[in-house]
Structure 1
Amino acid sequence: MQFVGINHQGESWAAALVDPLLYPLAPVGDFWRDPAGWQDKAVTLTADAGSSLERGTVAEVPLVPASARVICVGLNYKAHAAEGSFKDQDLPPYPTLFGRWTASLSVGNVPVPVPGGEAGLDWEGEVAAYLGRRVESADEAAAADAVFGYSTFNDLTARRAQKLTSQWTLGKNGDFTGPLGPLVSRDEVGDLRDGLQVRTRVNGTEVQNGNTRDMIFSVPAIISLISETFTLHPGDVIATGTPEGVGYARTPQWLLQAGDTVEVEIERLGTLVTPIGDPALRARA
């Protein structure tokens, strides 16, 4: 089953997606109080086309509650770690974690502005994992069972801002720089350790081609580690890292400019399309 967020009845709702039809389920906060229950209800609801909306007739929004923590994992693919901070070094013993605010999130086909002062934005195609239940001090088996589903994600990055200090927060929270695709339930995706192909294209040219088998830290291991320190809740998101091939590591560097289009295609999750715009688009934020 696939789910998206939509603007409906004056607020953000969760909807089941059977493309091209949307089936409104509940306000986003209510959905995340019992996502498994709403998934069961969606099976019955989607059998009745009379309760549907045509996709494209309503605005889509991130299917993430305002209270969610979005925890991103840096340098989590072996080859990407080697092209970045861990070139010619041993791999880190723990994942590099940083946060995104929900205000930086967006959805597919929404133009993303290049922040002023940046030479461009960098692409980072990756898988996002969504928690479906409360997780506190969990072992890896319990952590794996707490995942509700996955989506495509593009961790668009302002590299100049990111590299001003050792902390990455500034460069990872540009306006609209965290587009998410539809959420696909775990039962349709399986275990990332079995391998999903992750591809990124810029203006039709492939720039990343990796596989989730190459992750240094698995999703259950990441969730388990985080849960030792703070409790995770339904609707929290783990962005699992990107394969090699990012723009800043190329010679010469290649960064996204206004007018470019970047696509993240992930096996079983679909394709996320994001156009890049100029700084004037920040007026929407």
Structure 2
Amino acid sequence: MGFKRHIPNLITSLNLLSGSIALIFAVKGNLVLAAIFVAAGIFFDFFDGLAARLLNVKSEVGLQLDSLADVVTSGVVPGIVMYQLLAKALPAGDGLGADWNSTAFDFHLKPFALIGLLIIVASAYRLAKFNVDDRQTDSFIGLPTPANALLILSLPLILTFQPGPIISGLLLNEWFLVGLTVVSCYLLNAELPLFALKFSDWSFKENKLRYFFILSCVVLIIFLKFISIPVIILLYVLLSMISNRKAIS
């Protein structure tokens, strides 16, 4: 097969590279550029699997590399972004907003904001489970890490490009962010079946849920712009739950 078998892993490496660049921007507090590079990483993440299927060159190494790249792009970066948002939301001074400072080691951090790093732990655990779970070939159990990353990274985009007193007050409320962190960690690892956007054929009857979801996404993006991202994630979960209930009944 020669070079052909390396193409999916090369695309996965671009995902990892994009995530690593996003991580640098996230640590430096440039959350918009972090979001842009995470989006690029997710783009490569979608196409590495597609390339592997088209070229018929799936491998165990590729599977593990894909998860390792996702840990960075869709796990570590969202966790750092949530830390940065919580640190920004917390009031200065004593209490929750208290800093740990060290002039000797030249650092300061807000201990309470470290709650945001739970997203990293939950994402890594979700990816580890995914690699050994043979139920997730045609659908997902729990929210995929790229979807969760988009949810978290949408917050700084909304704050930057669609600011408003109500939206900013909500998204920079420390308890809202803590609640979102807990919900995010739960959805990543919940025993919740979610449909995948994989088409076995193009018939409307077999794919009406997917077509409805895609059309809804387009409409929401046009009218809501970046605010559409959390709405789309919520719609994805709700449609999956409705679909599962109908299947059971």
Q: Structure 2-normalised TM-score?
A: 0.28
Higher helix share: 2
More strand by share: 1
Structure possessing the higher relative contact order (Cα contacts under 8 Å, 6 or more residues apart): 1
TM-score, normalisation: structure 1:
0.26
